[in-house]
Amino acid sequence: MICAECGEREAAITYTEVRDGELCALRLCEECARRRGVGEGLSSFAGPLVSILMGLLEESLAPARAGGGRSADCPQCGLSYSEFRRSGRLGCPACYESFEGELEPLLRRVHGATTHVGEHPPELCGAASRRRELAGLRSELARAVEREEYERAAELRDEIRAREEASDVLD
């Protein structure tokens, strides 16, 4: 998506503000966001916030560390766990999988859950819903095959194919 302000660069930040009592979301590139001062307000809190979160992480990992458990560096961006601990920032989406063992207890403790339950950008709502439905159908298909319910499995297979084809047309 292109930046709503300059119209030149790729948007990296979604900035939401209230204008005249209505919610207004802007997609901004990093440079335009910096010019507007978006994200700067957080920097004063970032140090203490990261320290608190890292402290919670260390507490929750103490039992796992005693057993010698430690995740490897991220295969996609090369971020090490120690770098993550130092900065409090992950390098890429693959880091979530690489550091899953460390992140899950922290997320559960801080947010109370490990799955996103909040709002999604409007343009992603339909796609995310379709992906969830397809994932549910695929797991139901696997269960049907395990139970040797081949007629039901064939119905599910056909439904999955039809939805995937419809999804390709929509995207």
Residue 144 included in any domain? yes
Best-predicted range by mean pLDDT among 9-13, 42-46, 165-169? 9-13
What is the value of pTM for the model shown? 0.34
Residue 63 included in any domain? yes
Q: How far apart are CA 77 and CA 92, in angstroms?
A: 7
Residue 20 included in any domain? no
pLDDT digits (tens, 9 = 90+) for 36-54: 776 554 444 455 666 666 6
Q: Mark whether 45 and 107 lie in a shared domain.
A: yes
Q: Mark whether 46 and 105 lie in a shared domain.
A: yes
Q: Mark whether 63 and 98 lie in a shared domain.
A: yes
**Total domain count for the chain?**
2
Last residue of a domain, one of 111, 132, 156: 111
Which residues lie closer than 8 Å to 32 by C-beta, 6 or more apart? 3, 5, 6, 9
pLDDT digits (tens, 9 = 90+) for 55-84: 666 655 554 444 444 557 888 888 888 888
Residue 22 included in any domain? no
Last residue of a domain, one of 111, 140, 155: 111
- What residue numbers bound the domain in which 135 lies? 122-170
